[in-house]
Structure 1
Amino acid sequence: MFDGTLTATRDEGAELARLRGLYDGLLEQPPAGISTGAQTDLAAMARIFDLEADRPPAEVWRDLRAVLMRQADPDISDEEAPASRPLTLMVVEDDAEMAADLTELLTTAGHGVVGPFSDAAAAMTAAGLHAIDLALLDINLAGDQQDSSEGGGVGLARTLKQSWGVPAIFLSGDVAAAARHARLATALVLKPYSGRDVLNGIARAVASGAVAR
């Protein structure tokens, strides 16, 4: 039975540690400098969490760091996730246990689920057969050769958006990879995540207007 917590099988906390090592210097006095590329990635990461990116990098990182730290620790807050109207959601996740838990979470919340699928090819076939409101995609699909240069989830998000107008949420511990492809996703849910994090991401996508009403 789904218990409200969805945990990753690999060490996704390493990505958060890497980001803190790269950007925490911005919060020092005086602040450390970062490269132009790191500033670009920082702004892209902020936007996929609906944070204002057109500010000094230290302000952007302060707020983004708080979001990432909060999501990384599901015990920080027990606030209830906002409800969303029933949607038809596609789930693409190559970890079978996580996919099953995610499907149970979504159906319990009143949504319809297409999938889950473990590879991009099957998901693209299904997208041509179903009216989908929003796709929840693992950005890196193990063993998926559909687009090995960027991960099957990224190529799938592009196809869903261009061919069927379906918006996507990335499910990933690789925040930097999600930032590089931020234009393809309406939100990011960072692994390991709780059920509340997923429902919050869906609510953000609806509130942003990305999901057709």
Structure 2
Amino acid sequence: MFDGTQTTTPDGGGDLARLRDIYDGLLARPPAPPGNEALAELAGMARIFDLDADRPPAEVWRDLRAVLTRQGGPAGEADATPPPPTPSLTIMVVEDDPAMAADLVEVLVEAGHDVIGPFSDGAAAATAAGLHAIDLALVDINLAGDGDGVALARTLGQSWDVPVMFLTGDVAAAARHARLAVALVLKPYGRQDVLRAIARAAAGGAVKT
């Protein structure tokens, strides 16, 4: 169960520190903006956190930095507020950590969703996507084996029109590939983080309900 004790994360704090190195110059006086590619990644990542990206970059980064810092803190600390109700969805789970995959399935089933998987590699998940009607895929961005989560996200979107929610502690990778996801949950996470992200994606129309 996600009880606030989940601690598995591939250097999430280090990746957050690298993003701060890139973007904190926006908050300096005078500001020191990064390059155009970094600004595009900033806007993309803001959108998958449902933040208004059509603002000055400094404002976008200020809000996004707060979100990343909060979610990158101790898992479960924001679990007290229940997520809004979400209609039952068919959700694919792609996670190569067996314990985390089992926990995800349990949380989703308890919330009333149907689950396809879990799958530990992208190839099996891509094959299954052709056999099932899937509303949303929860994908670990750094999958081991033949295909990573980024490649799988492209396949799910381009071939099957399946929206993807990234699960990751690799914040820098999430920023680079934000355009491939409709939502993002940072590891370590609590059960409410996952359910809130699903509810946010559904409410915003990114997931057909």
Q: Does the pair score TM above 0.5?
A: yes
Alpha-carbon RMSD: 1.8
Of the three residues 55, 72, 89, the one matched with 1:87 is: 89
Q: Distance in 2 between matches of 1:6 and 1:92?
A: 18
Paired residues, what number? 207
- Report if aligned partners of 2:91, 2:134 keep a CA contact under 8 Å in 1: yes
Match for residue 197 of structure 1? 193
The percentage of counterpart residues that share the same residue type is 68
**Structure with the greater relative contact order (CA < 8 A, sep ≥ 6): 1 or 2?**
2
What are the ranges of 5 or more consecutive residues in structure 1 without an aligned counterpart? 147-151
Of the three residues 147, 160, 173, the one matched with 1:177 is: 173
What are the ranges of 5 or more consecutive residues in structure 2 without an aligned counterpart? none
Taking the TM superposition and a 5 Å limit, the aligned residue runs for 1:14-93 are: 14-73=14-73, 74-75=76-77, 78-93=80-95
- Report if aligned partners of 2:79, 2:191 keep a CA contact under 8 Å in 1: no
Amino acid in structure 2 at the alignment position of 1:194: G
Alpha-carbon deviation of 1:207?
1.2
Instruction: Point out 4+ residue stretches in structure 1 off by more than 6 angstroms.
Output: none
Q: Distance in 1 between matches of 2:113 and 2:55?
A: 37
- Aligned pair 1:96/2:98, yes or no? yes
Q: Distance in 2 between matches of 1:116 and 1:131?
A: 15
Amino acid in structure 2 at the alignment position of 1:25: G
Q: Residue by residue, what CA displacement relative to the aligned partner does 1:119-159 show, whole Å, maximum 9, x if unpaired?
A: 011111211222211100011102x223xxxxx21121121
Q: Distance in 2 between matches of 1:99 and 1:65?
A: 28
Of the three residues 159, 162, 177, the one matched with 1:163 is: 159
- TM normalised by structure 2 equals 0.90
